[in-house]
Chains A and B, each alone.
Chain A
């Protein structure tokens, strides 16, 4: 066991666990996109970045990967961290404005505007599907190809993979494509609707539909 401080609170944690795991255990919320507790941490979305004070040195680290150490002090929501998270979300939303996961995170963190030219992509390249396929399904049918702007998730040689069993796990775990936000009407706009209004789905369907495919009911109501 090691003792560390998270947001001013002294906590104990198992050696070898990551800051994110410990913070979540103690109920401290750190936003993530490419993290899933059952998969190898990847450290690509950079939303989980926190400030770590180790001795005299303060640095920004990805909490999903940084192993806890005796005596370190972690700050999960400093001004510098929040500012960076907002910028990262701004970058992601400019690329994939219709992702409900991103729009929700943006609302939570208080992002007010997107200043970049809007695109209309779906994939945020978080790599969850790639790791899901390889680690949990034991298949490895998809992977990343290309670098920089040309990076994408595809099957080898872009042809139907022989080892893909069509299990759908990649779609299940995808945070971006599966849930589409219908609230964005004009480019650059942030939806924020789901957080502002109580879902109206219950009246229509008897259950909240957002977890399946957003119905847009909440948004339409707001317009009236």
Chain B
């Protein structure tokens, strides 16, 4: 079977993850195929499409095996040179290599790039190595060995013991111990049991589930099959967003191939164990990432949560015992079975084991998908892996856990990232988005943004969440408009605490985190908005004014021509002026001014 893959062939691995696709990697792929055909090299070279390599900032990423040259920002016109120099002569194309901005050194291989050097990538490592549409690629790197080992040599109880000993915790954000969940589900009474993979990732700025599903769908399937075998379930569901068409396609292909090879279906590995997975497409509601809402959605009901005083492992889908895990949790399972519980338990901190997968976005130099051991500090993530803040700006805050998380200030940069530490600090691990913000971010405006998102995504079932978020948004919006009163902050704090305590599900209980954490760490910004009617970051339009600096304006007239409101007056070669009553603070003039003569005045009065 594996003879179909020729080890002597040179392989060009082109990242076709969403980030690189957006930067034109499909054209690069076409160019490679054209070039190979032109030079008649089909026998020596094979071009494969992989999923996300992680370094999205530098896409399209291309890796040439077997020597593993790592090229970034590859354009179709570079392809001819890569083929003649690297593939035929084994030399690196120096201009396509990554240059370290600090040392100026070129990195030839992936592991030399600081972005990768500081990471530990057991789960993501294969993302850039295999073709997700070809099950053989996955098998060659040792795929489905864990499944074979689990089913043929380990008892169900023992598998659960291994997972429990490894210390694996749910990667969806709440961090429930996976082994314990499996055990509860196995013990629960019921003739039919289900396992569910949760791929309904809806946080703004998060793409870790998506990248994993697109790049290595078989690792998720393998984990689910092992889990189902241990728990005693014969039917699995993979719930993923309809907005992720590529993930849907890759998972569907993977399921079809797994069925074809006998990893899914009847009598897997001659053990008498039957299992199959069905894909359910979500309609794009953020709330359906919550387990009970997700289950309601699979049942064809409205996606709204229920109180989980009776846990889903006892009564879940169709009132049967159901074990639901995030897709990243499932992808960890084969690794633990292959390498043993001890190996896994060695990575991470005392209570949070293993690695965490995060999408690092915002104002950092190296945005992308990262995997780090639990306990890595925020500073290492932002500066060592992320390469620091873009430009010469100052760091202000980092937001973890998406809309459910909180904003942490510079003082907490040394905080190790794990489940407990982040929760203590008023944020949470969440489903893996890390958003870095610089000094030009207004924290009140950030709170407003997330509240606005949550207001629309709350299912509306319970009063504190539906009405509470609306009112918090009302108060915060008023503050950004300069209409805030001092007593508003007290009311905001009180309301946020009620919403946190009294809401029905995780969405409502974590919704006030952004407000509470910004009130806790950035109180001075709220005070500036409310008392002094100033926006220190210069973001809130009602609290700022645009000014033309006398010394810098040359009277070139660029701003005057561009202003959509005709708010700028002035004659050629003379200093221009902005009429503040007409100005809508759109910022077009400031962006256009060649002399940086237009500034934001955050102190209007």
Contact = CB atoms under 8 A, between A and B. Distances in A.
Given A67-B310, A147-B459, A43 B504 contact: yes
B44 interface: no
Contact of B462 (A43, A83, A115, A150): A43
Interface in A128-176: 143-144, 146-151
A150 B307 CA distance: 22
Interface string A46-69: 100100000000001110011100
B462 A44 contact: yes
Contacts of A49: 502
A65 B311 CA distance: 13
A80 to B, nearest CB: 7
A159 to B, nearest CB: 19
Contacts of B520: none
Contacts of B287: 147
B456 A44 contact: no
Given A46-B504, A62-B504, A94-B471, A148 B458 contact: yes
Interface stretch (B113-121, B231-239, B372-380, B493-501): B493-501
A149 B470 contact: yes
A126 B302 CA distance: 16
A87 B504 contact: no
B31 to A, nearest CB: 45
Contacts of A143: 302
Contacts of B504: 43-44, 46, 62
A88 interface: yes
Given A60-B501, A87-B498, A148-B455, A43 B302 contact: no
Nearest to B457: A148
Contact of B457 (A44, A62, A147): A147
A75 interface: no
B306 interface: yes
A147 B365 CA distance: 37
Nearest to B488: A115
B80 interface: no
A147 to B, nearest CB: 5
B149 interface: no
Contacts of A46: 462-464, 502-504
A91 B468 contact: yes
How extensive is the interface on chain B, given as a class? Answer: 20 to 34
A151 B502 CA distance: 20
Contact of A88 (B306, B494, B498): B498
A194 interface: no
Given A45-B463, A46-B502, A149 B455 contact: yes
A134 B461 CA distance: 18
A155 to B, nearest CB: 15
A26 interface: no
B244 to A, nearest CB: 20
A91 B502 contact: no
Contacts of B304: 144, 147
A92 B532 CA distance: 32
A77 interface: no
- Residue of A44, A45, A61, A151 ringed by the most chain B CB atoms within 10 A: A44
B309 A147 contact: no
A43 B455 CA distance: 20
B464 A147 contact: no
Interface in B293-333: 302, 304, 306-307, 309-310
Contacts of A150: 460
Given A125-B460, A147-B287, A148-B455, A60 B502 contact: yes
A65 B458 contact: no
B501 A84 contact: yes
Contact of A87 (B307, B466, B494): B494
A61 B309 contact: yes
A164 to B, nearest CB: 19
Interface string A80-111: 10011001100110110000000000000000
Contacts of A92: 463, 467
Contacts of B558: none
B456 A149 contact: yes
A117 interface: yes
A110 to B, nearest CB: 16
Nearest to B308: A65
A116 B460 contact: no
Contacts of B503: 46
Interface string B474-501: 1000000000000100010011001001
Contact of B467 (A60, A62, A95, A144): A95
A88 B463 contact: yes
Interface in B482-537: 487, 491, 494-495, 498, 501-504
Nearest to A43: B307
B285 interface: yes
A15 B241 CA distance: 40
A109 B413 CA distance: 44
Given A83-B494, A144-B302, A147-B460, 18 more contacts: A45-B463, A46-B464, A60-B502, A61-B309, A66-B307, A67-B310, A84-B498, A88-B502, A91-B464, A91-B467, A91-B468, A92-B467, A147-B457, A148-B455, A148-B458, A148-B460, A151-B460, A151-B461
Please give me the 10 A-B residue pairs with the lowest Cβ-Cβ distance, nearest first: A151-B460, A91-B467, A87-B498, A65-B307, A148-B458, A46-B502, A84-B502, A43-B307, A44-B462, A84-B498
5 contacts: A65-B307, A88-B467, A91-B467, A147-B458, A149-B456
